[in-house]
């Protein structure tokens, strides 16, 4: 069945009417003439789009059961988009989107302790469009935490808003941006996550929904977390259609965090770390689980992806069988980790491949990608970059399949023969200085010798398996 979305606009809301005017300008609409049940005052259809517009004469937050009323006149919707104002004395020029729900009493519409069914596939593209249009302007873009009504609505919904005062509600540019963000959005059926913590305008969640391929279902700000219990949290996951959670740990005190984590354990939910939002943008849940299982013998391992592969992969790799792996020489990676660990991790973070870190944050000798050629090219470039970084610290001789690193090491027997035993003398010699022992000048070359460390740069590429 074709998806049809209904945009709900209220004549009681200046921003809503502003957005509606620009919706009319973006398409060819015709008014459906009929007698409508309250609070509906008008219905507009556009045969060449997937949208309808419904106009009401009541505030949007009080429209419980609006979908049932629409269905009574033959208007069924895949989702409802409420075009709305946002009111705040502190946020200024703001474009935002959010879901509805009350964690305690219903102070502004809806029913107490009830959450809507979120249109998780619309929130992300609406926010992404808002950000695209707002770039370079004074306007901020943010997801908001779940709040206010309506809640007694069985059809999935999302609010798209202009904030934060009368001046902004009537702003023509903002009205056009929100209208375009609604009309141009392509539903993104991404993995939803329920969020906990942060302010009412959660910065971490907003960043994650805009930068990763995942989306958010209900999000609860830090100040409402004490009100949550198993029933409400269970409702949030059931209606968001997920078992995945995210906790903004820095914004939640330890007692509340332990309470939330206990509820999540009882509900059988998985808490995602931030890096997993990006990993799950590249790997499906199944492929990710398979890879973690294969790496379990190496202990507590984190699987991450470089920024390049996240931009390149449009659909998550479905299974581990479809993944390509580069098996690097373990001695090479181990040596590099001891000498240039920060450079190693920095280049991996900016690379076009996936990788894994052990419990100490040291890279494993393993890279992965969705394509053999991409993997080979990126692996060769990474190894070259690492050798260049190493050569800035130590003498390096490059061979076809190896690199030879020249290290200077103290020869204890030579030092003893020359009477060098004082720690300060050894330290000065290691810095390249000469010292005097028993009236004789001792140069570094007299107690140090060069050692050649040969490291292979040959890697093996396999599909679908890790030995």
Cα diameter, the chain = 111
Residue 153 sits in the same domain as residue 238 = no
Over residues 97-106, the pLDDT tens digits come to: 999 999 999 9
How confident is the model at residue 423, as a pLDDT? Answer: 66
Report the C-alpha gap between 444 and 409 in whole angstroms: 10
Q: Is residue 19 part of a domain?
A: yes
Residue 180 sits in the same domain as residue 42 = yes
How confident is the model at residue 417, as a pLDDT? Answer: 74
Choosing from 130, 160, 185, the residue where a domain stops is 185
Residue 40 sits in the same domain as residue 145 = yes
Q: What's the pLDDT band for 422 if we cut at 50, 70, 90?
A: low
Q: Which two tokens stand for residue 321?
A: 């069988």
Q: Is residue 319 part of a domain?
A: yes
Residue 15 sits in the same domain as residue 158 = yes
Over residues 162-172, the pLDDT tens digits come to: 999 999 999 99
Report the C-alpha gap between 43 and 34 in whole angstroms: 9
Share of the chain above pLDDT 70, in %: 96
User: What's the whole-number mean pLDDT along residues 130-140?
Assistant: 98
Nearest CA-CA partner of 46 in 66, 68, 23: 23
The answer to whether residue 276 scores a pLDDT higher than 90 is yes
Residue 9 sits in the same domain as residue 127 = yes
How confident is the model at residue 431, as a pLDDT? Answer: 66
Q: Is residue 120 part of a domain?
A: yes
Q: Contact at 8 Å (CB) between 192 and 122?
A: no
If you write DSSP's letter for every residue of 344-356 in order, what string do you get? Answer: HHHHHHTSSSEEE
Q: Contact at 8 Å (CB) between 401 and 458?
A: yes
Average pLDDT, the chain: 94
Q: What's the pLDDT band for 433 if we cut at 50, 70, 90?
A: confident
User: What's the whole-number mean pLDDT along residues 15-39?
Assistant: 95
The answer to whether residue 1 scores a pLDDT higher than 60 is no
Query: Which contiguous run of DSSP H or E holds residue 457?
Result: none
Which of these ranges, 93-102, 242-251, 437-446, has the smallest mean pLDDT?
Answer: 437-446
Q: What's the pLDDT band for 430 if we cut at 50, 70, 90?
A: low
Residue 176 sits in the same domain as residue 208 = no
Total domains in the fold of the chain? 4
User: What's the whole-number mean pLDDT along residues 303-332?
Assistant: 95
How confident is the model at residue 3, as a pLDDT? Answer: 84
Choosing from 272, 301, 325, the residue where a domain stops is 272
Count of CA atoms in the C-beta half-sphere (13 A) of 394: 22
User: What's the whole-number mean pLDDT along residues 318-337?
Assistant: 98
Q: Is residue 255 part of a domain?
A: yes
How confident is the model at residue 442, as a pLDDT? Answer: 78
Residue 91 sits in the same domain as residue 158 = yes
Q: Is residue 391 part of a domain?
A: yes
How confident is the model at residue 34, as a pLDDT? Answer: 82
Q: Is the dihedral of CA 416, 422, 425, 431 positive or negative?
A: positive
Q: What's the pLDDT band for 426 if we cut at 50, 70, 90?
A: low
Report the C-alpha gap between 139 and 135 in whole angstroms: 8
How confident is the model at residue 394, as a pLDDT? Answer: 93
Q: Is residue 205 part of a domain?
A: yes
Residue 145 sits in the same domain as residue 7 = yes
Q: Contact at 8 Å (CB) between 64 and 153?
A: yes
Q: Is residue 277 part of a domain?
A: no
- Structural domain that includes position 216: 190-272
The domain that contains 195 carries what CATH number? Answer: 3.40.50.10700
Q: Contact at 8 Å (CB) between 263 and 271?
A: no
Share of the chain above pLDDT 90, in %: 85
Residue 297 sits in the same domain as residue 381 = yes
Q: Is residue 438 part of a domain?
A: yes
Query: Which contiguous run of DSSP H or E holds residue 120?
Result: helix 120-134
Choosing from 272, 293, 328, the residue where a domain stops is 272
Residue 48 sits in the same domain as residue 109 = yes
Residue 374 sits in the same domain as residue 260 = no
Q: What's the pLDDT band for 408 if we cut at 50, 70, 90?
A: confident
How confident is the model at residue 449, as a pLDDT? Answer: 80
Residue 95 sits in the same domain as residue 1 = yes
């Amino acid at each position: 069945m074709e998806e049809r979305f209904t945009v709900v606009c209220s004549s009681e809301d200046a921003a809503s009417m502003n957005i509606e005017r620009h919706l009319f300008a973006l398409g060819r609409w015709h008014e459906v003439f009929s007698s409508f049940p309250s609070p509906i005052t008008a219905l507009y259809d556009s045969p060449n789009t997937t949208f309808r517009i419904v106009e009401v004469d009541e505030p949007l937050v009080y429209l419980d059961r609006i979908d049932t009323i629409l269905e009574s006149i033959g208007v069924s919707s895949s989702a409802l988009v409420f075009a709305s104002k946002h009111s705040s004395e502190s946020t200024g020029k703001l474009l935002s989107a959010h879901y509805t729900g009350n964690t305690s009493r219903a102070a502004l519409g809806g029913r107490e302790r009830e959450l809507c069914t979120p249109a998780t596939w619309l929130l992300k593209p609406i926010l992404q469009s808002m950000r695209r249009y707002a770039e370079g302007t004074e306007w901020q873009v943010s997801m908001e935490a779940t709040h206010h009504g309506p809640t007694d609505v069985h059809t999935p919904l999302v609010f798209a808003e202009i904030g934060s005062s009368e001046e902004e509600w009537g702003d023509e540019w903002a009205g056009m941006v929100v209208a375009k963000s609604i009309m141009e959005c392509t539903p993104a059926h991404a993995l939803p996550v329920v969020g906990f913590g942060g302010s009412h305008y959660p910065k971490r969640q907003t960043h994650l929904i805009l930068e990763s391929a995942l989306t958010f279902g209900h999000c609860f700000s830090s100040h409402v977390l004490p009100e949550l219990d198993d029933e409400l949290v269970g409702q949030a996951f059931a209606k968001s259609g997920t078992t995945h959670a995210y906790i903004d740990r820095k914004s939640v005190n330890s007692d509340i965090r332990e309470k939330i984590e206990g509820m999540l354990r009882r509900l059988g939910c998985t808490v995602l770390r931030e890096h997993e939002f990006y990993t799950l943008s590249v790997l499906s849940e199944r492929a990710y689980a398979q890879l973690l299982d294969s790496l379990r013998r190496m202990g507590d391992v984190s699987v991450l992806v470089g920024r390049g592969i996240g931009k390149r992969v449009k659909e998550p790799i479905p299974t581990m069988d479809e993944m390509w792996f580069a098996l690097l020489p373990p001695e090479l990676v181990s040596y590099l980790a001891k000498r240039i660990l920060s450079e190693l991790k920095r280049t991996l973070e900016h690379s076009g491949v996936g990788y894994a870190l052990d419990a100490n944050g040291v890279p494993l000798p393993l890279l992965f990608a969705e394509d053999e050629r991409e993997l080979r090219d990126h692996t060769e470039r990474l190894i070259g970059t690492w050798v260049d970084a190493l050569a800035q610290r130590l003498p390096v001789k490059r061979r076809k399949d190896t690199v030879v690193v020249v290290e200077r090491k103290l020869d204890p027997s030579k030092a003893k023969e020359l009477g060098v035993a004082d720690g300060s003398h050894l330290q000065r010699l290691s810095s390249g200085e000469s010292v005097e022992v028993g009236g004789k000048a001792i140069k570094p070359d007299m107690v140090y010798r060069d050692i050649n460390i040969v490291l292979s740069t040959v890697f093996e590429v396999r599909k679908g398996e890790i030995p």
